Each structure stands twice: as structure tokens, then as C-alpha cells.
Chains A and B, each alone.
Chain A
Amino acid sequence: MGRTPPPAGLPFALVENGRAGLRLAAVNAAARGFGLARGMRLADARAQLPDLLTEAHAPEDDINSLLGLCRWMERYSPWVAPDPPDGVLLDVTGIPHLFGGEARMLAEITARLARYGFSLRAGQGATVGAAWALARHDARDLAGLPVEALRIDAAAAKTLRRLGLRTVGALQAIPRAALARRFRGESLGENVLIRLDEMMGLRDEPLNPLNPPGSFMAHRTLMEPVIHAEGLETVLAGLVDLLCRDLDLAGKGALRLILKLFRSDGSRVNLPAGFSVATHDPRHMLRVLKPKLEAVDAGFGIDAMTLEARETAAAPVRQHGFLEDGATLALEQLNDRVLNRHAAPFLALEEAASHIPERAETPRPATRAPPAGLLPPGRRASAPAARPLLIFEAPEPVAVVAAVPDGPPMRLTWRRVTRRIVKAQGPERIAPEWWRLAEGVRPRDYYIAEDEQGRRYWLYREGLYGEPDEPQPRWFVHGLSA
């Protein structure tokens, strides 16, 4: 396959390394006419037929050829799956009437492929199992099929034959429980009941299509390898335009892209890119992808490029010019550029249902926040509680002197500098949340303390005085106010 075909009519075989030397892996019709068959030793075959033409068997070529055939078959149905080593499965639900009926469609496929030089058998069935069997075995109906048509392995088929069960019809006639007891193998090849149910449509058998419908990609092969960044950018711009047009027509936008650069020496570079909001805006896509392209080592040159949308979503239809929507869009696109270049997301600080200061808000990606333009610009009615502008991720322990044990701080030593506190407001007691109460979690008394220079600290004393079995309260700086 892929090489020059053997002269028609002459016996020909593919050989592979097998047990005890070379064996035939496949034979053509002429060779079969001389009594040759698959699995025979080459020495024996040569003895029968000295002028047998042979070639080494290359299984990967078989697969590639099969995949190529599958892609060609997509003219008949978008749902095509390879069935290695030698089959192609098509889901033609809702299609035959376009070709004038099932029989005519099958005839058309057979005739066309025969014209290309394929010798083939085709079958049609309501299930994958039935179609598979009818393409390989001659029978008037399913019940008349031999048990080998069930896609079970040779051992299982042999056992069935020894039991006198030669056809699918015979299998159907005996109680299921008996079959289940006899063939309860883990693998599909052994489990006769599962295969039987699949053929009869009692059990679902999904078909994995080669190209799932709805995937978006753009590919361009270059005449000569390109090394210069400008050249690559031009190609990229073309790909982005193609992809965006397809996405736009389908009403979709890309969330995840992958740009594949094929170097002329056979290696490949993958450049992934992500978007926070589904997009089919070519300008935006290009601005995100371009910086990534700049960092690529082109080696001896790039001779093909593929841009693929790995994840898509319905793209929001936007109405520009209403409530500064343009600014929201610009912010999302800006976020994408920053995210793709520096992996630093724009964060909005969202209020959380907790009164423990470090849990009272959670950062979350800003683009998922409700659009700023739709929110009332007004402030809340009551003044927000006294909180610092800056907060430490981990409160820093400090040495504090207070006039009375549970009074406000008078002197504070933080980062090896002692400050005299002249003004303090507090305490504001924040008790642990009872549903998170754990050993060692103690109530806190918060103070806003101002030193002589007017700098403000948000301090707390952890724990209470006079509690038996508890360590002495400790002081921490939790934040700094402006």
C-alpha cells in the first residue's frame, strides 16, 4: 500500500516475521486461487508457487491507508470510524435517501471503491455488530449467520461449534442464563452474550468517529520552509482568518487553541493558547498568538502550520456601544493577552460569607465577574467596617506592651522597630466560626493603632486572658492602613 501495486492477476503476498521464519500476512485473489492462505510459511508457499511475488508487510502503512480511506469516506457520512485492521464503519443514519435508498447507496460505495482498485465487501445493518457480520459473512438474515460473525475470538467460536451451536439463530434459541454462565469472560472477545446483545441492538455500542463533527481547524502547507518570523506571521494571519470565518459561521468561539508548527526536519512545536471568553475575533486571536510565535525556534524552517480550536463554546453575540460594552470586551481581550504571556490572571476580589478577615473575600478571575457596566455605580448605604488597605497573607507576630493586659496596645515592636502607639481604636472581637471550631483556634481582638508619625497598623490579640489550660494571648500585625 502506498507503493506500486502488484500487476493484476499475478499471485502476490505480503510477508511478515512469524513463528519459525517468514509467514504470509496477506494474499491476493490470484494467490488464493493457487491454494495459498494467510499464516502459511513462505517456504511452503514458494514450494507450491515458485514465482510468488512478495513484499514485506508494514502494518503502520495499513493503518495509514485505512485512515486515508476513512477520510475519503467522509463524503458519505460525517461519522466515520476506522475498524482496524481492515474495516471502515459508517453511521449513515438519515443519509441513504440522499443516494436513493440504502441498497443504491451501498452499490454506489462498492462501485466507486472497486474503480479505485479496492476489493471489498460491504454490509448494512441496524447495529454495528450486524453490519460488521453482514459485510463479512453471507446470510439471508442475522439468525443464519455463523457464530464467527459475532466478533468473538477463535477459541470462543470453537467452543460454541463443539457445543453444536453453529449459527446466531441457534444461540438465540437457548436460555441466556446458560450462555452467561458459560461465557463470562472479561474481554469482549470471550463474552458471547455481550456480542450477541450488541448485534441485536439490546446493548448500545457507540461509534468513535475519526473526526468528531464540529471540530474547527485550519491548515496550510507551505511551498518552501519558512524561517523568518514575518513570514510565519503572514501564514498565521491567514490561518486565523480561516478559522475565525468557520467559527463565525457556526456561531461559535474558541476557548482553547493549539497552533502546530511542523518543522522541515519532521519535528513539531505545539503552542497552546487559552481565552477567557469564547472568541472568533481574528484581530484578538492574532494578538494573543503572535507573541508566542516570536519565541519559536524555527530550526531549518517551518513547512506546515495547523491552527486547531480544541475547545469551543457558543460565542456571545455582542451589541457594541451599549453601556460601555466595548470597554468590557477590551478588558477581556487584555486579560487574555496577559494570561497567555505571563500566566497572571486579572483578579476581582469577591466578598465571601465569612467574618474572619482572611476568609472574608476570595479572588476570582475578573472576566467571570458580572460586567461592571451593568452594576449601579452607587455605594452601599452603611459605611464599611474599618479595614486596612493592605493585609498580610500570614499575620506577623509582634511584641506589644499594653497598659492593662486586655487593653489597647501602647508600644509595638514589629520588624525590629519599636513604635509608640498614640491612638488606638478597638477592640473589635472576631470569634472563630463555630462550624470550623478546631483545636487551637482562638478569638481575636482587633485594634487599629496609629503611631506618632501617623502610620496605622491593624493588630490583633489572639486568645483571652484568664483562661485555664490555654497559653498566654499573642499579638499579630494583620494589615497596614493607608
Chain B
Amino acid sequence: MRWKPAQQGARGRETCTAVTSFHPGGDLPALLAALRAQIDRLEQGQARFAPQAARNAPWRTGLSVLDRHLPAQGLQRAGLHDVSPLAPGDQPAAMGFALALALCRLDDGQERRPLLWCRLAAQEREYGRLYGHGLERLGLPRQRFVTVSLRKPADLLWVMEEALKSGALAAIIADADAAHADLTVTRRLSLAAAAGKSAAILTFARAGASATASHTRWLAGAGPSASPPDDVLAPGPACWRIELTRARGGRPGAWTVEWHHAQSRFSLVSGISHRAIHPHTDQDGADAATRGPALRAG
């Protein structure tokens, strides 16, 4: 291992407080965790100026099986993430999942900034415009919601970068156009997100977009929902099939989840019964998650 912390320290003197040396046969998981933390600090250069530890706490989805696949047990708080639909027609599900992720970020009790949703006029014509009552239904109070609609994808990216840098918003969800959101653009957005301490989620109209500089990439699609017990013919809470296709410092995986808007939390769904695993057994974990017969994890 040719990693030399002392030389890196010349540029960022204070980042290398934890000088770690590699001993074969040492405590490998602890060492990996320390190294990951160090890379994290190097990546978000200004993290050392952050006044509160809470601001740097990971952005947990609240679902332990899912969080375990993510670096540092959660998403990058001030980072860029993107969601694409699993199949054509899954756009509303992908948007719903993006909103659910953002709500996990908004709901940590310290965040009071609102959420901005940037829409493209073409997307609004195709899939409809955002409906405030529907957003409330998914758990977003309308006082914390702002939207803007733009005609050109390039304009939208400008607005998004400005909005991220301004630090006025907790999270920004934006319709993305695969032709415009390339590696350079997404890298810019990622840096802007770090500068403004805001989260950014891009929702693509189609799966298979080119490479992006996102911290995590997701695919999301609709799944058959579980009917409520009192009405077997009615649809239940929103159910999504999600795939984590890329995670910097994490592992890919696939799950089927339900979104409970009242508590702003996900729960895992077992494949056969279409029933949510009981929330209490799920919370802690591993046993419940691995026991599920049709759990599509890993």
C-alpha cells in the first residue's frame, strides 16, 4: 500500500489527523472504516469548517438493510444522487422515490430549509405537473415546497447549480435530460451541492443515461402494492422496486420497498405476500431482512 498521508498533508495539513498504517492481520474492518472516513474528509474539502457535526451526519434512509449498502451507512448529505425509471412508464414511481429520499433528508429535525423541485416544461406536459395535495399525501408539507418550471434543459441546470450554491434549500430535485447531464455537468452540480450543503437528486426520464458523477445512482419502478386489510381490492401504500446500481464507496443492491408517508419511512416488502414486514422487526434488522423468503437484496 503506497498511501502516504504525510505528503497529502502538505496540501491539506489538517485533514490527515488519523494517520493509519497498515498492519497485515490487524483489525481490517476498523482500518477500512478509518480509511473511508479519511477519503470522505478529503472529498468534501470544507467539511472541517462545518460548525455542527449533525450537518455532516449521513443521510439515512431509515431502512437498515439499505443503509448498510451505502457508504458511511447513509447517503452523502451534500451530494448528488440520481434516479432513473426501471422501465418506460415508471417515471412517476421514480419521482416518488426521489421525493421519499429527499423527505428522509428533510425530516431530521434540524433542517428547516425548503425543497425545490425544478421541472422541465416538456416533462410537465408528458407526465403532468406536481400537485400539492399529492405531495402532502406523500408527506411533504406544502410550506416547505417550492417549484420552478423551465423550458430548456440547459437553463434548468443553471438554475440548479445556482440554487445548490446559494445554500437556501435543503434539497433540490430536478428533471434531468440525459443528453445534457454528462460527466462534466454532474461534477459541477456535485461540487455546487457540497458548497451549499444541499442535497441534489436528478430524475432522468429514461434509464441508461450516460455516466454521471453522482454519489449514488438508483433505478426505481412501480411494484404491485399490498392492499389494506379492510379492502382487498384497493391499492395500498406506494410500493417501489428499487435498485442501487452505483454507489461510491458502497455496494449495489435491489429491494422492494413501501413508503409510509405518515412516518416518512421506508419498509421492506416480502415478495410473495405483498405484505410489509412488520415495522418493529425490521428496524433492527439483519435477521428480519435475511429471513424474508423473496427478499431481493444484494
Interface residues, chain A, with chain B CB atoms under 8 Å away: 323-324, 327-328, 330-331, 333-334, 337-338, 341-342, 344-351, 357, 360-361, 363, 366, 369-370, 372-373, 375, 377, 379-380, 383-393, 408, 422-425, 448-450, 452-456, 479-482
Contacts and interface: CB of A to CB of B under 8 A. Distances in A.
Interface stretch (B53-61, B233-241, B285-293): B233-241
Contact of A346 (B87, B93, B148): B148
B235 A450 contact: yes
A482 B131 contact: no
Contact of A338 (B124, B128, B148, B262): B148
A376 B103 CA distance: 16
B224 A450 contact: yes
Contacts of A450: 224-225, 235
Given A346-B147, A388-B128, 18 more contacts: A338-B148, A346-B148, A347-B146, A349-B142, A350-B132, A363-B147, A372-B113, A372-B143, A388-B131, A390-B128, A392-B129, A422-B224, A425-B234, A453-B223, A454-B239, A455-B93, A481-B96, A482-B97
B38 to A, nearest CB: 31
A41 to B, nearest CB: 67
Given A333-B166, A348-B146, A383-B262, A423 B235 contact: yes
A384 B137 contact: yes
A387 B148 contact: no
Contacts of B159: 338, 342, 344
A444 to B, nearest CB: 16
Nearest to A338: B159
Interface residues of B, number: 63
Given A348-B142, A384-B137, A331 B114 contact: yes
B167 A330 contact: yes
Contacts of B146: 331, 346-348, 366
Question: Is chain B's interface secondary structure helix, strand, loop, or mixed overall?
Answer: mixed
Question: Is chain A's interface secondary structure helix, strand, loop, or mixed overall?
Answer: mixed
A348 B145 CA distance: 6
Contacts of B235: 423-425, 448-450, 456
Nearest to A479: B128
Contacts of A349: 130-132, 135, 142, 145, 147
23 contacts: A334-B166, A338-B159, A341-B158, A346-B116, A347-B148, A348-B147, A361-B133, A361-B142, A369-B143, A377-B141, A377-B144, A387-B134, A389-B135, A390-B130, A391-B129, A392-B129, A423-B227, A448-B235, A450-B225, A454-B221, A454-B239, A479-B131, A482-B240
B149 interface: yes
A327 B113 contact: yes
B222 interface: yes
Contacts of B257: none
B55 to A, nearest CB: 13
B138 interface: yes
Contacts of A324: 112-113
Which 4 pairs of residues, A with B, have the shortest CB-CB distance? A482-B96, A349-B132, A390-B128, A330-B168
Interface in B255-277: 259, 262
A44 B256 CA distance: 106
Contacts of B142: 348-351, 361
Contacts of B138: 389, 482
Contacts of A348: 142-143, 145-147
Nearest to A388: B134
Contacts of A361: 131-133, 142
B90 interface: yes
B199 interface: no
B162 to A, nearest CB: 6
A344 B93 contact: no
B129 A390 contact: yes
Task: Please indicate which of the listed interface residues A330, A390, A481 has the most CB atoms of chain B within 10 Å of its own CB.
Answer: A390
A380 to B, nearest CB: 8
A390 B125 CA distance: 11
Contacts of B247: none
B65 interface: no
A337 B238 CA distance: 37
Interface in B78-135: 87, 89-93, 95-97, 99, 112-114, 116, 124-125, 127-135
B147 A347 contact: yes
Contacts of B127: 390, 480
A334 B225 contact: no
Nearest to B274: A454
B113 A455 contact: no
Task: Please indicate which of the listed interface residues A323, A324, A333, A334 has the most CB atoms of chain B within 10 Å of its own CB.
Answer: A334
Given A346-B116, A372-B112, A425-B235, A379 B141 contact: yes
Task: Please indicate which of the listed interface residues B129, B150, B227 has the most CB atoms of chain A within 10 Å of its own CB.
Answer: B129
A295 to B, nearest CB: 14
B155 interface: yes
B174 interface: no
B95 A389 contact: yes
A357 B137 CA distance: 14
B162 A334 contact: yes
B222 A370 contact: no
Given A361-B133, A384-B133, A387-B131, A482 B168 contact: no
Contacts of B221: 453-454
Contacts of B169: 327, 331
A346 B149 CA distance: 8
A478 B225 CA distance: 21
A349 B135 CA distance: 10
A372 B168 contact: no
A172 B221 CA distance: 91
A338 B132 CA distance: 22
A197 to B, nearest CB: 56
Contacts of A391: 128-131, 134
A80 to B, nearest CB: 45
Task: Please indicate which of the listed interface residues B87, B155, B167, B222 has the most CB atoms of chain A within 10 Å of its own CB.
Answer: B222
Given A425-B235, A454-B239, A390 B144 contact: no
Nearest to B238: A482
A342 B153 CA distance: 12
B231 interface: yes
Contacts of B112: 323-324, 327, 372-373, 377
Nearest to B116: A346
Nearest to A417: B89
Interface string B228-254: 000101110011100000000000000
B143 A387 contact: no
B95 A390 contact: yes
B167 to A, nearest CB: 6
A448 B134 CA distance: 12
A337 B128 CA distance: 26
A85 B235 CA distance: 82
Task: Please indicate which of the listed interface residues A324, A330, A422 has the most CB atoms of chain B within 10 Å of its own CB.
Answer: A330
B163 interface: yes
B43 interface: no
